[in-house]
Copies of this chain bind each other. A is one copy, B any other.
């Protein structure tokens, strides 16, 4: 992202005003170089990397990560369809999900996906059934809930986790799952999977999870004669949404995780496992911005006598539900010009008929913002377009990739006709 002398923002060499003219607003703008650099950085640091498609899925993006040697993590038949359309090698696909249907498992194994992550006892049976039906041996991971939940700089360690995913280490549930998987003739138990949280800024939670898993692996080796090749640490690596956010860099996090895993596995006299990760947000999150056009600006006097500037843009909770859903915070800037007006307490809101329709709850923005100005909200690549709705029958925005002054459509904007296409004749 750069600014010219008039303060106009460019991304990937494209002037945001030109992008807004050509593709309309709201618009997701994906900086292709930034995306590719992040994906490559992960690939350099880890033995196996699966891009988490749930963060943002599209044929082009799946092609890119695949060409860089990353695999793709999918969790539904829909995401699997995108992967196949992108000609990703099925062997580089890992399939997740707490409730994969028999049909989805049949599709995935029919394509010969590389890894199936087993999430429940029912699924062990389904995976064996389908593998036998197809006459294949399917490589699987067992998803373990280690009792560790991490977020930013904190983690909580408990015995039991009150959540839907995986098999609990506590109470021997994971042990039972591993033993059964090991015995099932058409399954090849490759290793374990954990996913401990999201927006994680340091390695402390991973350290505790790795310690618990190393103990478990040692127990499997000693008591069951089962040896595991792979430890998949899942995703959750955090990114900066605000200037004060300080996540470890991709390189620092990778070094810490490997040091931790190697240390705890060495303590247990176990060979180092292949370490796999599944970054989604950490690759695509910072690579995208959303460009909105301002429609109205309203000064609202508050009970304490201060005032807040409500800046309404042409999208909202339909293209970014994270603010309303998670209380997420974002950085927003005037993108289409320079302003030397004083900064005032502002709230960027959408155009939906709902008071909770807030894009950026608190921002300091120039007092001279006016209809027609363009705002850019940073780091909207993950879980914005992928969770977008048509609330209030707003068509979902386009996603365009920008690179070296050229823009290409990654996902086209919906039209009103698209929305009406679900009406019966």
A69 CB → nearest B CB, Å: 23
Partner of A325, one of B100, B310, B324: B324
* List of B residues within 8 angstroms of A387 by Cβ: 389, 391
> In the bound complex, do residue B419 and residue A164 qualify as a contact, i.e. CB atoms below 8 Å apart?
no
Q: Interface centre among A297, A301, A314, A353, by most B CB within 10 Å?
A: A353
Query: Is A386 an interface residue when CB atoms closer than 8 A count as contact?
Result: yes
Contact between B395 and A424, CB atoms less than 8 A apart: no
Q: Could you say which of A85, A99, A165, A297 has the most chain B C-beta atoms within 10 Å of its C-beta?
A: A99
Binary contact track A121-162/B, C-beta < 8 Å → 1, others 0: 111000000000000000000000000000000000011111
Q: Which of A8-16, A256-264, A403-411 contacts B (4 or more CB under 8 A)?
A: A403-411
In the complex, the answer to whether A96 meets B353 with C-beta atoms within 8 Å is yes
With A353-B75, A409-B424, A414-B422 in contact, do A295 and B81 touch (Cβ < 8 Å)? Answer: no
Which stretch (A39-47, A53-61, A203-211, A219-227) binds chain B?
A53-61
B163 with A300: CB separation less than 8 A: yes
Q: Is the CB of A120 within 8 A of B296?
A: yes
Chain B's nearest CB lies how many Å from the CB of A216?
Answer: 17
Chain A 363-394 per-residue mask, 1 if CB under 8 angstroms from chain B, else 0 = 00000000100000000000000111111111
**Is the beta-carbon distance between A391 and B54 smaller than 8 angstroms?**
yes
**Residue A283 at the B interface, CB < 8 A?**
no
A275 within 8 A of B: no
Please determine whether B390 and A97 come into contact, CB atoms closer than 8 angstroms. no
Quote the shortest CB–CB distance from A143 to chain B (angstroms): 11
Give the complex CA separation of A123 and B371 in angstroms: 11
Contacts A76-B351, A162-B302, A386-B391: A371 and B122 contacting too (C-beta < 8 A)? yes
The closest CB in chain B to the CB of A86 belongs to B423
In the complex, whether A22 has a CB less than 8 A from a CB of chain B is no
Q: State A177–B390 Cα separation when bound (angstroms).
A: 32
A99-B423 contact in complex given A298-B120, A300-B160, A300-B168, C-beta closer than 8 Å: no
By a CB distance below 8 angstroms, the chain B residues around A53 are 393
Cβ–Cβ contact B301 & A82, under 8 A: no
Contact with B along A89-111 (1 / 0, CB 8 A): 00000001111110000000000
Q: Is A321 an interface residue (CB 8 A)?
A: yes
Is A247 interfacial (CB 8 A cutoff)?
A: no
A-B contact pairs, 17 of them (CB 8 A): A54-B353, A76-B393, A76-B394, A81-B393, A81-B420, A99-B312, A100-B351, A122-B297, A158-B303, A162-B308, A164-B347, A164-B355, A165-B355, A170-B301, A411-B424, A412-B422, A412-B424
Give the top 7 A-B pairs by smallest Cβ distance, nearest first. Answer: A78-B393, A99-B312, A99-B295, A99-B351, A409-B424, A75-B353, A164-B349
Known: A76-B392, A120-B296. 6 other contacts (CB 8 A): A52-B353, A76-B351, A101-B295, A160-B301, A161-B300, A164-B312
Give chain A's interface residues, CB within 8 Å of chain B.
Answer: 52-54, 57-59, 75-79, 81-82, 85, 96-101, 119-123, 158-165, 168, 170-171, 295-298, 300-303, 308, 310, 312-314, 321, 324-325, 347, 349-355, 357, 371, 386-396, 408-412, 414, 416, 418-424
